[in-house]
Amino acid sequence: MSSLKDDFNELLERIKVGREFGHASFEPIYYLVFPPSQILDVKRQMLAWESKLKNEGWKVHKFSIAAEIEKILQAAPLRKIWLAADSKSPLQWEKTNRSLANAISNGALQERLENVLKELQDDSHNILLVTDLEALHPYMRIGSIESQLQGNFSNPTIFFYPGTRTGKTRLKFLGFYPEDGNYRSVHVGG
């Protein structure tokens, strides 16, 4: 079993090389796949990985899924209603999760990521690290956002994906969601 450090180094080599010739409409989307049990290890390594990227000439930008979800939920027009309903029935998790999922999956998160991708596209030295994907549970999976953003990735974008690989293009989010093969990206690790 390879280490996170080895997987990250392999991912960097793949970014340098790009994808093999012959792949139509290649976008520089990369997934560092790791077991969910290593989520904290990935967070501990992040500063070192950012430094390594900077030393190799990249301008590193981060997009935290958790931070963006928090911003979306804090600004949601229904926030006061949610809080009032939650205080009346604090154990109604299914209902609460459906309401929060609607607020997140309405395109707001995708739009925020798309805006960052557009901001970065004018400089080929930019690289985007998309972190905290575990915050999408139980609302959605990143594959649905990635597929909607096809054509918008001009700079290398690394998704730090807690889950397992079940084939060359198939991933299981958090290791227990059904496998999804709709990813059009390079996967390392897992």
pLDDT given for residue 21 in this prediction:
45
Residues pairing with 164 in the sheet: 172
Q: Is 123 exposed, middle or buried (0-12, 13-18, 19+ CB in 10 A)?
A: exposed
Integer CA distances (angstroms), 46 to 60, 64, 182, in order: 11, 12, 27
pLDDT given for residue 43 in this prediction:
96
Tell if the pTM clears 0.75, that is, is over it. yes
Q: Which residues, 6 or more positions from 169, have their beta carbon under 8 angstroms from its beta carbon? A: 181, 183, 184, 187
DSSP code of residue 180: B
Q: Domain extents for the chain?
A: 4-189
Number of Cβ within 10 Å of residue 47's Cβ equals: 9
Per-residue pLDDT of the chain (190 residues; tens, 9 = 90+): 469 999 999 999 999 887 554 455 578 989 899 999 999 999 999 999 999 999 999 999 999 999 998 898 888 777 777 777 667 776 766 766 777 777 777 788 899 999 999 999 999 999 999 999 998 888 777 887 888 888 889 899 999 989 888 877 778 777 776 677 666 778 888 7
